Amino acid sequence: MKVILPNGDIQELAMGPLTVEELLQHLDISQGEVLVSKNKCIIPEDTILENSDDVRIIQVVFGG
C-alpha cells in the first residue's frame, strides 16, 4: 500500500491486510494526533487496509 505520512513522505508498504491501528503502531504514530484516509475518505482505526489501498495520514492541529 502507498502511505503518505504527515510530513509528506511516501512509503510503499506490503503489509496488508491490517487495521489502521496496526499500521499506526508499526509507524510509531499516536492515534490521537492524526486522521487516516483511505482512497480519499476518512476512516476509523478498525478499518482493514489492503496492499492495494492508498492511505494518507493527516496531522491534526490544535490551536486557539
What pairing do the DSSP bridges indicate for beta strands 54-59 and 34-38? antiparallel
Q: Which helix (H) or strand (E) holds 56?
A: strand 54-59
Q: Which helix (H) or strand (E) holds 41?
A: strand 41-43
Domain boundaries, the chain: 2-59
Check residue 46 and give its pLDDT: 94
Using CA of residue 50, residue 26, residue 4, residue 45, what is the dihedral sign? positive
Residue pLDDT, tens place only, 9-64: 999 999 879 999 999 999 999 988 999 999 889 999 999 999 999 999 999 887 76
Question: Full-prediction pTM beyond 0.85?
Answer: yes
For the domain made up of 2-59, the CATH class stated in words is: alpha beta
CA 17/CA 61 separation, integer angstroms: 29
Check residue 64 and give its pLDDT: 65
